[in-house]
Copies of this chain bind each other. A is one copy, B any other.
Amino acid sequence: MAGARRPGRNFLFVPGPTDVPDRILRAMHVPMEDHRSSDFPKLTKPLYEDLRKIFKTKDGQVVIYPSSGTGAWEAALTNTLSPGDKLLAARFGQFSHLWIELAKRHGLEVIVQEEEWGTGVNPDRIEEALRADKGHEIKGVLVVHNETATGVTSNVAAVRRAIDAAKHPALLYVDGVSSIASLDFRFDEWGVDLAITGSQKGLMLPAGLGIVCASQKALAAMKDAKCRRAYFDFGDQMRANATGYFPYTPALPLLYGLRESLAMLLEEGLENVFARHHHLAGGARAAVEAWNLRLCAKEPKWHSDTVTAIMVPPGFNGADVIDRAYRRYNLALGAGLSQVAGKLFRIGHLGDLNELMLLGAIAGAEMAMRDVGIEVEFGSGVAAAQAHFRGAQAARETKVAAE
């Protein structure tokens, strides 16, 4: 860690970067090699195949950039749109906000639907706006699948239904940075056109890879897309990728890490990965309830299974909890951003995580809250999470026995 020695492990519960499993760290510890060698495609080609399984797509085109997820946002937009094009986007958190801002910087005009923070995309409003757009000036709809800032998951399938109901040709752009490989995501079935993710969340890698999946319809839009681009150009990548290479030097350790990450996800089974995230998130939410605190997410339908944002009681500052947790207990929690700065703290529970790790974090959050004066009973959140885990386990065992 950047700071001085503190005994034992850091409990990393920010919603990304997530813990990189030892197995992946090992896989990344590689000597360099010639990225133009005749052996190199043996490494790269299977990555695209396996990533398609993660996105759940048959024909989607996957592109891997040496960049953060922000770069993948930029790639998705600049390869498919022209300056002046209109986009429709809901804003309900810091990340939906930042994506809109990035689009504007590239000369795109964004029609923003403001939603209360703690809620998500309203498919009815989307449908309404698209129906109103008789001339089909709106070229794309931007959806942040999981708003990391507030712990809210939106219904992407419903957005697709809204677009279809409006018989509108707009492309569907989905930010899946904190959902893909952790939450159920179905590129083909949901008719997503551009899906974006990064390496440092559900893929359990360090940051440094921005990944985009593009539908055939999205690729068709490339030829008219006038946004200037070079580093993030799909075409250069696709031409080089076709033979197993890259247009410029790739971030080799991350490719080896990605190979291991994909192997681990597929070994565990994607549906099991999703179920595990749901199981753990249930424990986190049970703890919050036991603490008598509120979630930022307004209703159960918005509950995110990758991040839980917890409102601190009036008179307290979430930043104090976070600071105490970090300095005193070696526990990293996520902060409230922008509108909700100071009003909440966040527990990320995604990636390579199990029950005891989360219970340790919950125990630590209890201690940090007490330290700053928030009245929570020691062990109360832990006990509620334990009961949740046990109940869920019992239910599962009963079900297995009955089968």
Contact = CB atoms under 8 A, between A and B. Distances in A.
Given A207-B250, A390-B367, A32 B267 contact: no
B367 A389 contact: yes
Of the listed residues A9, A11, A101, A393, the one surrounded by the most CB atoms of chain B closer than 10 A to its CB is: A9
A214 B118 CA distance: 41
A371 to B, nearest CB: 8
A146 interface: no
Given A67-B67, A354-B9, A25 B29 contact: yes
Interface string A191-221: 0000000101000001110000000000000
A22 B28 CA distance: 11
A30 interface: yes
Given A102-B230, A268-B7, A332 B33 contact: yes
A360 interface: yes
A367 B392 CA distance: 13
The 9 A-B residue pairs with the shortest CB-CB distance in the complex, in nearest-first order: A379-B383, A8-B354, A3-B39, A360-B360, A379-B379, A208-B251, A2-B43, A34-B332, A207-B249
A207 B64 CA distance: 14
A226 to B, nearest CB: 10
Contacts of A251: 68, 206-208, 251, 254
Interface in A379-400: 379-384, 386-387, 389-390, 393
B230 A227 contact: no
Contact of A363 (B232, B254, B360): B360
Nearest to A325: B356
Contacts of A42: 2-3
A123 interface: no
A249 B16 contact: yes
A105 B8 contact: no
